[in-house]
Every structure is written in C-alpha cells, then in structure tokens.
Amino acid sequence: MSGRHARPSDWDDGALDSLLVLVAESLGYTCRQVPGDVMLLEGANRLHVSLRNLRQLARLVPRNDWPALVSDHVTTIVTAIEEPLDLSDFELAQNLLRTRIYPAEADNGVLAARPFAPGLIEAVVVDTPTTVRTVTTEEMNGWPVSGDALFMLGRANVRADGPLQLDEQDLGGVRVSVLHGWTFYAVTHLAWLEEYLPIGPYGALVVAPNRSLIIAHPILPPPTGGIRAGYRSAVAAARELQGQAHQAYEDGPGSLSPHLYWWRNGELSLLETRYDGDTLVLPDDFRSVLTTLAAEP
C-alpha cells in the first residue's frame, strides 16, 4: 500500500470505450455516454455500465486481455437482466442472499436497501456463480422473510463465506489493521469489526474505499502525555488513513467511499476533517468525546 494520488490514466486512449461499444452492438444494443462516467446501453432493455469500474478492472490485467475482459463484463450484465433468476421459491433463493455495501447514490428507490453509514447503503443481493444482482423491494415483499430479518440472513451468509484476511501494517509510523479479500462483501464485515480487532470504548478510525478493503486503526487510551498526545496520535492515524482511502478509492474496483469514519459500538459516523495550513484537524465533537472518555475513572 503506497501513494496518495490516483494513477494517471494516460494508458486509457479510448480503447476500452470502443471495445464496450463493439460488444454491446454485437448483443443488439446501442451506446451513448451519460453523466456520471456511465455508458447507457439501449436495446431490449436499458442498462448502465460504469466506465469508472471498467477502467479499474482493466488496470488489473494486461492490455491484450481487455477484449475478453470487456466481453465478459458486458455479457454478464446483459445476461443478468435478460435472463432473470426465478426468485419466487424462497427456500432455494435464501442460500444465495448476501448483503453488499454500495455508495448511497446507487439507491434508485426500488432496491431492498437500508442506510449503512453516511454515504453508504447496505443492499440485499443474490449471489450466483456468474453474477451478483440486487434485490428489489417488490421481490422482497413476496418472500416470507423481509425487513431486518432478511438483512440478518444476508449478513449471516456473508459470515458463513469465511473471514477476511487480516494483516498488520505500518503506515508512516502508524499501526493499522488491513482487512481484505477478493470478495464483493468485504465491507459488510464492518458490522462485526470487533471480532477482528481489540476495540475499546474509544472505537476505531476506519476507511472503506472499495468493495474488497477495510483499513482500521483502533484508538487507544491517551498515553502518558494525556489527551493532547492522544489527539495527536489520532490525527496522525487519520492523515495516513485518508491518504490510503483516496488512493484505493481511485484504484477500485468497486469504489465505495474516500472518506474517514469513526467506528464505535457497531455504528459508523463520518469524520469531516479539514486542514489548518498543513495541519489536519479532526471535528470538535470527536475531540470532545476523547476528552470525556479520558476523564472517566
């Protein structure tokens, strides 16, 4: 993990967009780019393909493999829409359910989704060997299990898939825990972060920049230097986490959030930082809570 800025996109000379158009036309769709760095495919259905995510995927493979990558990516999206799964039998569907974290702007009003953190939603999805697709509220309402119970089932299935890999790393003198896995559901594991890390009453600073990555820094009680030393330690950790978050958010794939969060008692709150000259400043309410906790016997 290194670097703080997005890699230049000079390598992308329009070839990916051209390949996408070729594949879409071969499947009977026309293409036009729309706001949000999205390609709209129109034909038997109207589909949206994220160009940002496609570029992120392309960075992971040699250029010679781009035609196969684009063909597989677009065909999978089209197939998921044109050949929908029969989800009427809940006994069969329930083992395929997961909950996945998406940016809040992905909520189109018909998803079986709920808030997960500021800027993020948790959506119920169906996971098959070839694709992952979201569940609609209409589909959810046709099942004997819905609401919180359905989300609990989805989370339980994510847990049953196995734990993430946990690595301890040093970033600029700050010790962080990196949880990762080649899965769409890594960030769902934030719901039980305390099972991975020893987290006390101060909680942890965390980032969830993309679908496969969580970086966390448990906040320790203030050292001998008192609350000021504790605050300086938190600021150093926040600076490193934010730098890594922005990089991993740009790299993807599956970008989620470049922001810094405070995990406490299973809840995530957004830490809106600012700079005073070259100094990173954390919110006053964050410092106030640290002060209060430090004063407790």
Nearest CA to 264 out of 286, 248, 238 is that of 286
Task: Quote the pLDDT of residue 2.
Answer: 40
Task: Quote the pLDDT of residue 7.
Answer: 44
CB 256 within 8 A of CB 265: no
Chain centroid to CA 240: how far?
Answer: 19
Nearest CA to 28 out of 18, 38, 43 is that of 43
CB 126 within 8 A of CB 86: no
E strand or H helix that includes residue 123 = strand 120-127
Task: Quote the pLDDT of residue 232.
Answer: 78
Number of Cβ atoms within 10 Å of the Cβ of 252: 22
Question: pLDDT digit string (tens) for 67-117?
Answer: 999 998 888 888 877 766 778 888 888 999 999 999 998 888 889 999 999
Task: Quote the pLDDT of residue 4.
Answer: 38
Task: Quote the pLDDT of residue 191.
Answer: 96
Task: Quote the pLDDT of residue 6.
Answer: 39
E strand or H helix that includes residue 197 = none
Question: Which stretches of the chain drop beneath a pLDDT of 70?
Answer: 1-13, 83-84, 222-230, 293-297
- Helices 51-58 and 66-82: crossing angle, nearest 10°? 140
